[in-house]
Amino acid sequence: MAVDVLLGLQWGDEGKGKIVDYLANQYDVVARFQGGPNAGHTLKINGENFVLHTIPSGIFHENVTNIIGNGVVIDPIVFKKEIEKVRALGVDTGNLMISNRAQLILPTHKQLDAASENKKGKAKIGSTLRGIGPAYMDKTGRNGLRVGDILTNNFKERYQALKLKHATLLELYGQETDITEIEKEWFEGIELLSTLNIVSAEYVINEFISEGKNVLAEGAQGTMLDIDFGTYPFVTSSNTISSSACIGLGIPPTQIREVIGITKAYCTRVGSGPFPTELTGETGDFLRQKGGEFGATTGRPRRCGWIDLPALRYSSILNGLTQLVITKIDILNEFEEIGICTEYNIDGNLTTELPYDLAERNITPVVKMLKGWNQPINQIHNYEELPMEFINLVESIENYIGVKASIISNGPHREELILKAQPEAV
């Protein structure tokens, strides 16, 4: 077996990009299996931040094949810009393949996203407005256009037919559909896409696996944003959990080896929806400033709070977690005390289970305060040399969810990593 899945355990933005970038050299293939340009995976390249939205985070590694799987939705405009930025760094994108089954985001999908959010008023989800939801709706509604369709003779007609459908819907929302400018850009993106490696990725990836090659499936968003198991309706429109890697790439479940889950040492959420451990006062502001907690895709300030262990355990169960990666622990360097939520108080009852209607409930987190280490630890690479308080926090998390941490990220730079126990299978 040779497929490892790496994904977020919280509400996204766990720092997956840096970890994939670090692990990528140990794999032959890095593949994205869901989501779209609502994601923003930030890597440090030559000391500069580089944000990837659609392209897998292995793109900067020459010997790694990068695959955008069938489960992904692609916006040709965003994608073209991304390809151009990557190429401007001298990177050859010849190592990128795109599934012919991946769905396309149309300009009118973005308009529908905005119209739907506007209509929701106060109940809005806080969508990134990248057209993700409407594109997945067209996929399940069996109306969608796929990447492979670009190469067919009647692509333009099919595009027009879908656009017309969207125009009817937009009319119901009371919106006009003047997309002349953006449509031009979109077709330029389509032209670029048509020059790339469009493949039946499920064959390619299974062939790689049968040759004994190692595949890293890279998740986007996070488990608490999963369409089925997240804080519905404040979720994204794809399944973000480990089993989604099978669907989004055409890999059988029997091929999954390790499931590597990423959590921050605290918690953030962007957009609306329940967030039991949110800190709205000074502590939350401090976490936001220290952690640079502003959306990589939209620039929106992220809501911040203490780590939520019941939610983390839920994620661990759903994903079949085998390895934990803790990121941004250095952001807690200056804290005298660090909170960990161990239980919820829901209407006077203590529980460690997330109710299905979390969004409707009045939840007070039960927070245990641990002593902080209150000193910089970014230069320490050896786990045993870390302060006792630091180890206590890590062990509290590990013991609660019953999975050991393999890597701890203690700074934004590539080399700022503590390898606690080298992942066995990698």
| Minimum gap (Å) between residue 216 Cβ and ligand IMP | 18
Which helix H or strand E contains 245, and what residues bound it?
A: helix 244-249
Which position among 7, 112, 225, 246 is part of the footprint of ligand IMP (CB under 6 A)?
225
- By CB under 6 A, is residue 133 in contact with ligand IMP? yes
- By CB under 6 A, is residue 221 in contact with ligand IMP? yes
The DSSP output letter for 355 is P
Q: Which is nearer to ligand IMP, 114 or 346 (CB)?
A: 114
Q: Which residue has the tokens 């953006």?
A: 182
| Minimum gap (Å) between residue 234 Cβ and ligand IMP | 6
For 92, residues 6+ apart whose C-beta sits below 8 A from its C-beta are 62
Cis-peptide, bond into residue 387, ω within 30° of zero: no
Which position among 70, 128, 277, 319 is part of the footprint of ligand IMP (CB under 6 A)?
128
- By CB under 6 A, is residue 236 in contact with ligand IMP? yes
Size of the site for ligand IMP (CB under 6 A): 21
- CB burial string 133-155: b at 16+ within 10 A, e below: bbbbbbbeeeebbbbbbbeeeeb
The stretch among 155-163, 232-240, 379-387, 408-416 that binds ligand IMP (CB under 6 A) is 232-240
Which position among 39, 215, 287, 340 is part of the footprint of ligand IMP (CB under 6 A)?
39
Q: Which residue has the tokens 């404040």?
A: 234
Q: Which is nearer to ligand IMP, 120 or 257 (CB)?
A: 120
- By CB under 6 A, is residue 130 in contact with ligand IMP? yes
- By CB under 6 A, is residue 42 in contact with ligand IMP? no
- By CB under 6 A, is residue 270 in contact with ligand IMP? yes
Which helix H or strand E contains 215, and what residues bound it?
A: strand 215-218
Which residues are the active-site residues? 13, 41
Q: Is 245:217 a contact under the CB 8 Å cutoff? A: yes
Q: Which is nearer to ligand IMP, 80 or 130 (CB)?
A: 130
- By CB under 6 A, is residue 132 in contact with ligand IMP? yes
Closest alpha carbon to 301 in 291, 312, 313:
291
Q: Which is nearer to ligand IMP, 116 or 322 (CB)?
A: 116
| Minimum gap (Å) between residue 130 Cβ and ligand IMP | 5
What tokens does 221 get? Answer: 């968003």
Quote the CA–CA distance of 204 and 69 in Å, as a whole number. Answer: 11
Quote the CA–CA distance of 420 and 426 in Å, as a whole number. Answer: 14
Closest alpha carbon to 309 in 357, 348, 335, 277:
277
- By CB under 6 A, is residue 387 in contact with ligand IMP? no
- By CB under 6 A, is residue 301 in contact with ligand IMP? no
Q: Which is nearer to ligand IMP, 150 or 225 (CB)?
A: 225
Q: Which residue has the tokens 């067209």?
A: 138
Q: Which is nearer to ligand IMP, 247 or 366 (CB)?
A: 247
| Minimum gap (Å) between residue 113 Cβ and ligand IMP | 7
Which position among 5, 86, 220, 287 is part of the footprint of ligand IMP (CB under 6 A)?
220
For 283, residues 6+ apart whose C-beta sits below 8 A from its C-beta are none
Quote the CA–CA distance of 359 and 372 in Å, as a whole number. Answer: 31
The stretch among 11-19, 25-33, 275-283, 328-336 that binds ligand IMP (CB under 6 A) is 11-19
- By CB under 6 A, is residue 66 in contact with ligand IMP? no
Q: Is 273:125 a contact under the CB 8 Å cutoff? A: yes
- By CB under 6 A, is residue 249 in contact with ligand IMP? no
Which helix H or strand E contains 16, and what residues bound it?
A: helix 16-23
Q: Where are the beta strands (DSSP E) in 230-302?
A: 256-264, 267-269
| Minimum gap (Å) between residue 261 Cβ and ligand IMP | 15
Taking the CB of residue 376, how many other CB atoms lie within 10 A of it? 12
Quote the CA–CA distance of 115 and 177 in Å, as a whole number. Answer: 11
- By CB under 6 A, is residue 52 in contact with ligand IMP? no
- By CB under 6 A, is residue 17 in contact with ligand IMP? no
Residue whose C-beta lies closest to ligand IMP: 271
Residues in contact with ligand IMP, shown as a per-residue x/- string from 71 to 110 under the rule CB under 6 A: ----------------------------------------
Quote the CA–CA distance of 218 and 67 in Å, as a whole number. Answer: 10
Torsion of CA 222, 250, 41, 54, to 10 degrees: -130
Q: Is 284:278 a contact under the CB 8 Å cutoff? A: yes
Q: Which is nearer to ligand IMP, 266 or 400 (CB)?
A: 266
Residues lying near ligand IMP in the complex (CB under 6 A): 11-13, 38-40, 125-128, 130, 132-133, 220-221, 225, 234, 236-237, 270-271
